[in-house]
Amino acid sequence: MSEPAPFLPAVSLITLGVADLRRATAFYEALGFRPAPQSQESVTFFQLSGVVLGLFGRDALAEDARVSPAGSGFRAVTLAQNFPSREAVDAAYAHALACGATAVKAPEPVFWGGYSGYFADLDGHLWEVAHNPFFERRADGRLVLEPLP
């Protein structure tokens, strides 16, 4: 057998630093996520279709990486969920706002031929809700651009 690659084409876990874990967890539960049983008092895990999403105290996350927690403004990271239609994007955006998300950009047609909007979660993490008619999107929300590695 050949040597395994040192780094796989994979993200196992996305962790979002949050100010108030209980509130953030409640927001994501309202959105439609369900905490995994491995969640603890200081961390919430959600088993998503292709990746695990974790919520962890913002300062604790900085401490874990041993970096300063100081930071503000644009984070240059967005998470996206793709939908099978423009109507589904509108419904998701409205649902997120009803759950307490902050409106950032109402869904609208975009130059590349899709339809997209953005909201922010309780801690300012940006989520895009999009319809991309050129990408294969599975019923579980995963995009499949190529055969899975």
Segment 41 to 70, residues that bind a copy of itself, using CB under 8 A: 45-53, 58, 61-62, 64-70
Tokens of 69: 């927690």
**Residue 71: CB minimum distance to a copy of itself, A:** 3
Q: Using CB under 8 A, which of 22, 23, 32, 133 touches a copy of itself?
A: 32
Kindly tell me which of 2 and 11 has the beta carbon lying closer to a copy of itself.
11
Residue 66 Rama label (left phi>0; alpha psi -120 to 50; beta): left
* C-alpha to C-alpha distances, 25 to 1, 33, 73, 149, nearest whole angstrom: 43, 9, 23, 31
Indicate whether 144 belongs to the interface with a copy of itself (CB under 8 A).
yes
Site for a copy of itself in 69-88 (CB under 8 A): 69-82, 88
Find out whether 49 and 147 touch, Cβ atoms under 8 Å: no
Indicate whether 97 belongs to the interface with a copy of itself (CB under 8 A).
no
